[in-house]
Structure 1
Amino acid sequence: MEYRQLGQSDLQVSAITFGAWAIGGWMWGGAERKDAREAIRASIDEGVTSIDTAPIYGQGTSEEIVGEALQGVNRDKVQILTKFGMTWEGTKGALAMKSKDNNGKDIDVHKYAGKESVIKECEDSLRRLRTDYIDLYQIHWPDVTTPIEETFEAVLRLKEQGKILAAGVCNYSMDQMKQADKVIPLASNQVPFSMVERTIEKELVPYCIEAKKGILAYSPLQRGILTGKIKPGHAFGEGDSRSSNRFYQADNIARINAFLALIKPLAESKNATLAQLVIRWTIERPGITVALAGARNAGQAVQNAQAINVKLSSEEIDFINKHLYALSLV
């Protein structure tokens, strides 16, 4: 595994980080708890030291599973990355979505990061994670109803109390990062980034490189479509939100698969899967510190971690990019 400093913080994180959204079940059509624990442990055995989760992932389920999986693991050897600011209890903040929990019960999810709520969420996360500190504490989405200064004053208090080691953001713009950074130095921004979703390269990546902020790329496989295993007409399970995602519309599935067919021989020449090639390409991009890769069982987790063994020359990266830049999605 390769380990990288996260921004200017003291955190060293694994370049491939375990993304724990899917194991929470929510919006992924369910998950098997035992398999999820085994996936985390298998990742650790492969050298993955960083695990990214959030309270909203299964309304506490993902954090609980992470806490269970890390029992008996040397806490100093792993980094727990979790989040705050997506609440399913109460009505404060901006309504993010109407959804259903893992039991099919209707829930309203709000983006809310008021000071007292942030502190309460941290306490709840510590309990579910069975730990006394969080390595990286990240706001999940911007909260337009609360001043950024108020939110990060709460985060600063948590850092002063030793309950968190570093502060981060998710889905923040450059300007929002600058505001938060005035209150507490930010280690990183976690944002969507993949071969087919490169919006952040216009403004955010250059800023983060200049300001020495880490970038955690989530959905580097674009929720599975860049594995090459999703074909037109794919049937998604109940509760799986990918069915309405634009990348999963029939025309785009066909175009993406045509692109993947062009780079598949390169993956095969390295005894790698398409997914491994894509993950390696992701962490080679300028400014990208970490690729988050989700897994619901040990086999998937091992495959993701072993993407680190794929080595790409500059000529091979150029080859991938040439075909990638010719890809036109609708």
Structure 2
Amino acid sequence: MEKIKFGNFDNKVSRIGLGTWAIGGWMWGGTDETRSIHTLRTAFDLGINLVDTAPQYGFGLAEEIVGRAIAEHGNREKLIIATKVGLEWESPHKIWRNSTRKRIFQEIDDSLRRLRTEYIDLYQVHWPDPDTPLEETAEALYDLYEQGKIRAIGVSNFNAEQMERWRKVAPLHSNQLQLNLFQQHLLNTDFAYCYEHKIDTITYGTLAYGLLTGKFNSETTFPEDDHRFYKPMFRGEYFLQFLAAVDELKKLAASRDKSVAQLAVRWALQQKGVTIVLWGARRPEQLNDILGTEGWELSKEELERIQQIINEKVTKPLPPKKNPGPPARSSLR
């Protein structure tokens, strides 16, 4: 497994990390804990040593599953656990951002307990919280870092301006940002900032929530407890245009004896400012393509052809998100 220097860690980190949102089951139609643990242990055996999770993924369940899998696998010191902080909830239907110092110090102990560990390798603020001074959040994570409860400080979904403010208060080792072939809008802004300031990045949504696996067709539907049921990307004309693009991308991938998923991940790994790509899985067989992402590169001509396909097939841009992610507390009052 290809590895890279990341943050301030002594051990190099696999350039593909395992994402565990689906393992938590929430918004993915439930989960099978035994199968999920098998998936995690399969990932470790393949050489993946970074696993990314969050309290929100199944409201603690994903962290518990990760903790069990690592306890069974052993070698905790060789693995990188990345989890998140800064969300609060009353129910699966009422979630809001909360990155106050009080909330952070409560969440860290809950996560340590669920993950069965004495420290978290990478602690990331899940979403910016407009109701809490960013400096308060940064200072809280810096205190945890100084205490040894976390080994590196990260954020997620922070823009360049927010990162700049953060760095005036505390170290910033990484930012987790959305990136895939159909959603490249952050490459020239937030990824560029991270590259310029030597902040590592982790990409999420790299397979476009399954679209870039090539397993869907125009007859594919999703149940209401699957978040894709509500995403414009998987509905109507939007869905059909993305499927058409995937069909063309499959042909290009096949010319290299690769799957479209392998092509999509290789593309992401070659983008300027990208350090690590997350591969989401909840069944062991969903990891079969991972090793095929290594040991080769897309040529300049292939990269240009990929962009040409997207430009030709994706003619109806997705509607802009007015307020992506969970709402702020003030909006719920």
Q: Is the TM-score greater than 0.5? A: yes
Superposition map of 1:88-99 within 5 A: 88-89=89-90
Q: Distance in 2 between matches of 1:77 and 1:124?
A: 22
What residue number does 2:183 align with?
A: 197
What residue number does 1:95 align with?
A: none
Bigger mean CA offset, 225-234 vs 69-78: 225-234
Q: Residue 224 of structure 2 aligns to a residue in which SS?
A: coil
Give the direction of change, closer, same or farther, for the CA distance of 1:179–1:84 in structure 2 (3 Å limit).
same
Superposition map of 1:184-263 within 5 A: 184-263=170-249
After the TM superposition, list the runs of 4 or more consecutive aligned residues in structure 1 that deviate by more than 4 angstroms: 7-11
1:321, CA displacement in angstroms?
A: 2.3
Q: Distance in 2 between matches of 1:285 and 1:125?
A: 32
Matching residue's letter, 1:88:
W
Note if contact 1:231-1:253 (Cα within 8 Å) is conserved in structure 2. Answer: no
After superposition, the C-alpha distances for 1:181-202 in whole angstroms (9 at most, x for unaligned) are 1221111111111101111023
Give the direction of change, closer, same or farther, for the CA distance of 1:9–1:200 in structure 2 (3 Å limit).
farther
Bigger mean CA offset, 69-78 vs 49-58: 69-78
Q: Distance in 2 between matches of 1:153 and 1:293?
A: 31
Bigger mean CA offset, 296-305 vs 193-202: 296-305
What residue number does 1:32 align with?
A: 32
1:49, CA displacement in angstroms?
A: 0.6
Superposition map of 1:106-185 within 5 A: 107-185=93-171
Note if contact 1:133-1:165 (Cα within 8 Å) is conserved in structure 2. Answer: yes
Give the direction of change, closer, same or farther, for the CA distance of 1:305–1:122 in structure 2 (3 Å limit).
farther
Note if contact 2:37-2:68 (Cα within 8 Å) is conserved in structure 1. Answer: yes
Q: Distance in 1 between matches of 2:34 and 2:281?
A: 13
Give the direction of change, closer, same or farther, for the CA distance of 1:170–1:58 in structure 2 (3 Å limit).
same
Q: Distance in 2 between matches of 1:37 and 1:302?
A: 16
Q: Distance in 1 between matches of 2:50 and 2:236?
A: 35
Give the direction of change, closer, same or farther, for the CA distance of 1:312–1:74 in structure 2 (3 Å limit).
same
Matching residue's letter, 2:182:
V
What residue number does 2:285 align with?
A: 299
Note if contact 1:40-1:301 (Cα within 8 Å) is conserved in structure 2. Answer: no
Q: Distance in 1 between matches of 2:316 and 2:6?
A: 32
What residue number does 1:328 align with?
A: 315
Q: 1:271 aligns with which of 245, 254, 257?
A: 257
1:48 equivalent to 2:34? Answer: no
Matching residue's letter, 1:265:
K
Matching residue's letter, 1:49:
N
Q: Distance in 2 between matches of 1:305 and 1:82?
A: 24
What residue number does 2:16 align with?
A: 16
1:303, CA displacement in angstroms?
A: 2.3
Note if contact 1:8-1:212 (Cα within 8 Å) is conserved in structure 2. Answer: no
Q: Distance in 2 between matches of 1:284 and 1:142?
A: 27
Supply the RMSD in Å over aligned alpha carbons.
1.7
What residue number does 1:96 align with?
A: none
Q: Distance in 1 between matches of 2:139 and 2:201?
A: 22
1:9, CA displacement in angstroms?
A: 6.0
Note if contact 1:47-1:305 (Cα within 8 Å) is conserved in structure 2. Answer: no
Bigger mean CA offset, 15-24 vs 198-207: 198-207
Matching residue's letter, 1:296:
R
Q: Distance in 2 between matches of 1:286 and 1:172?
A: 18
Give unpaired runs (5+ residues) of structure 2: 318-333
Note if contact 2:232-2:239 (Cα within 8 Å) is conserved in structure 1. Answer: no
Q: Residue 82 of structure 1 aligns to a residue in which SS?
A: strand
Give the direction of change, closer, same or farther, for the CA distance of 1:35–1:306 in structure 2 (3 Å limit).
farther
Q: Distance in 1 between matches of 2:286 and 2:177?
A: 22
Note if contact 1:8-1:187 (Cα within 8 Å) is conserved in structure 2. Answer: yes
Bigger mean CA offset, 6-15 vs 44-53: 6-15
1:141, CA displacement in angstroms?
A: 0.5
Give the direction of change, closer, same or farther, for the CA distance of 1:8–1:325 in structure 2 (3 Å limit).
farther
Q: Distance in 1 between matches of 2:89 and 2:101?
A: 17
1:12, CA displacement in angstroms?
A: 3.1
What residue number does 1:5 align with?
A: 5
User: For this pair of structures, how many residues does the alignment match?
Assistant: 315
Q: Distance in 2 between matches of 1:310 and 1:329?
A: 32
Q: How high is the sequence identity, in percent, across the aligned residues? A: 40
1:130, CA displacement in angstroms?
A: 0.5
What residue number does 2:325 align with?
A: none
Q: Distance in 2 between matches of 1:246 and 1:238?
A: 14
After superposition, the C-alpha distances for 1:142-169 in whole angstroms (9 at most, x for unaligned) are 1111111111111111111111000010
Note if contact 2:21-2:57 (Cα within 8 Å) is conserved in structure 1. Answer: yes
Q: Distance in 2 between matches of 1:243 and 1:310?
A: 35
Note if contact 1:276-1:310 (Cα within 8 Å) is conserved in structure 2. Answer: no
